[in-house]
Amino acid sequence: MTKSILTVMSFLLFSTLSFAGNIPAKVKKAFDQKFPNATAVKWDKENEHEYEASFKWNGEKHSANFNDSGDWLETESSSTFSQLPEKVKMTFNSTHRGATIKAVAKIETSKGAIKYEIEIKQGGKTIELFYTEDGNETK
């Protein structure tokens, strides 16, 4: 049993280490151009054609997604509730009064859109809520 657990753990460690080297060169180059001087970069594969880098840039936590051709898709940056646009705060407060906020983020997309994410704890579950700049809640 112990040998089986060690074998599985070794495989998982090897898989994780080998993945870090499998980021397409186009993706790495696009990331380096968009976020020069980023630090503490960690890569994940979101799906078959998308990669996500988590990193620090200009002293703040960010994550950015790129497709396998190196096209930037979106960037998410940590934020606070007080930094949200007033319309977003008003909508949230009117529809989710008393909710426990876990995290807030600003999301900028390659199409020029800006949206906001508020993660809340509700009934033992984490729920992600998304808002447009003008305060409309979206899916």
Q: What is the pLDDT of residue 124?
A: 84
CATH topology of domain 25-138: Nuclear Transport Factor 2; Chain: A, (3.10.450)
Whether 95 and 138 have beta carbons less than 8 Å apart is answered as no
Residue 31: pLDDT over 80: yes
pTM confidence score: 0.77
Q: Return the percentage of the chain with pLDDT > 90, whole number.
A: 76
Question: Average per-residue pLDDT in the chain?
Answer: 87
34-39-42 Cα angle (round to 5) = 90
Residue 62, classed as helix, strand or coil, is: strand
Cβ-proximal residues to 102 (8 Å cutoff; 6+ apart), any chain? 119, 120, 121, 126
- Euclidean distance between CA atoms 94 and 76, whole angstroms: 25
